[in-house]
Structure 1
Amino acid sequence: MPRTLYEMYDRILEAVPPQQRLVVRSALHWLAFSVRPLLLEELAEAAAIDPSQPKFDLQSAGLISKEQIVNICGVLVSVTVGKGGQLRWLGDKPQVEKRSLSYYFDRSFTLVSLSHFSVKEYITSKHLREVSMRFFHTSERLAHSYLAQSCLLYLLSVNGGEVAFEISFDEYHLFTYVSQHWMQHWQRAGHGDDTGHPARTILGGFLTMNPDQSQGYANWLNTWNPRALWGLSIYLTWPRRANLTVASLGKKPWQPLYWAAVLGDLPLVRSLVESGADIHAHAPDT
């Protein structure tokens, strides 16, 4: 019998089949360090993203079902069903997805979370780092780096990597989350001047001056109103926003250099300036 809570968690992880351990590790890291609670369908997509791979294909990623993600994580996670009107964080979701508030308030949603705060303490503990199940160990910075890379890879892969006239939020369940929160994860990862980190390859591919690689960036701006970051305006509607194409990126506001500066990412700022970014460009007035 396990003598401590951590030893009990060891036993649970030891029972996870090897082919499912990457998914379980990803799910635990997402649940421990997500900015807001995750819907079950969001977690099912998030856990399937592998940022060590060059791309993420939602159709061929081998997604597991909502039921499976709960089953393989076992007692480490719990689910809660609630009405949209009871979930305060949904206040941002209707604005991004352009649905009426009644759509959310009249529906039930399944949230998934760690079953106990000790699970988060366990996966970041010295104990786990020193036992056979160390594969599941993480730290706050490592987890935020993993989530930031996963968010960016997801944005780069939506709609097969092509500019979408309109995003189907019923198909891309995680899109709202990654659009809103990838920058928070990046900043909390604290990469600083670590120019050799693999995460920089993904960030550089997203905030790029190369028009042949800007589809993910265009989809992000077509969906998310940057002014909402500071609460300066309400989200714009699809008909007004869904007109940003790769060809027009150079003539549109909110250039990649702007976001590199917002992130305080000097290596990326230097790289973009060297690639021809306009340092005199202004953020839009409207």
Structure 2
Amino acid sequence: MKIKFNLNGKTVEVDAPVEKKALYILKDLHINSVRKGCDEEGKCGNCSILLDGKLVNSCLLIAPQINGKNITTVEGLSRGGKLHRIQQAYIDAGLVQCGYCTPAQILAIYALLEAVKKPSRKQIDDAMSGVLCRCTGYKQIYNAVDMLTKGKKPGDFTDEYKKDYRVVGKLTPKIDAVQLVRAENSYVEDYVPKNALHIYVLGSPYPHAEIISIDTSEAEKMEGVEYILTHKNSPKTWYTQAGQSYPEPSPYDQQVINSKMRFIGDRVAAVAAESLALAK
């Protein structure tokens, strides 16, 4: 179906299947900030967007649900090369670590401050509850909000020390903080070329099972399917799943794809194709 929506102030028209997730529609439009952090279960919030001003998970929306809507992402916050004040506060508060969930956090704070000028701690907690983060430390979120609403400065929260040192003990912004708050190319997924193949790995539905045979002949005839890997043509290199490589610990009892399935989810086959849907 053809849909039209406003993306960061510009009208966009796309042709997409009804069931296509808004997450992938936006990724096709080179929107990096929508991150797939939980396999489209709506748990992590890393794919958040502002839909008509409300924070929602793009992985839970399909094409018709964004038709005629206004969508804002982090890419639309900074203007003319200048960071939005929330983006700057995140840098100043030391909130940018890996940066994967940072765009979603920034949008959550943006939506909160649009609704409440001076939010309470409970309101901040509620606003951030849908965005999971594992590396920044949550205290700095409150610091950033205090900077935005109470005029606080970074030095109000953390004392500098080691006056003779240039970096150690100083409030020094992360070197790639600006590109992360802007959701610029930062991760491998941001550099995947359009013509890259998609791989789908079929997991075993049964534990303690053995593959007798797999007929891949019909799948191999499908246009766009480039390669199929099974136990028959899998590399015969043995390794351990124990977490440490050679020489210990043993046993070396696993290959990329085995004929014996020990657990539910063990790899049965892998298909490389021109699209994920085709690979599946």
Q: TM-score, normalised to structure 1's length?
A: 0.22
Asked which structure has the greater CA Rg, the reply is: 2
Flag the structure with higher helix content: 1
Flag the structure with higher strand content: 2
Flag the structure with more relative contact order, 1 or 2, with Cα contacts below 8 A and sequence separation at least 6: 1
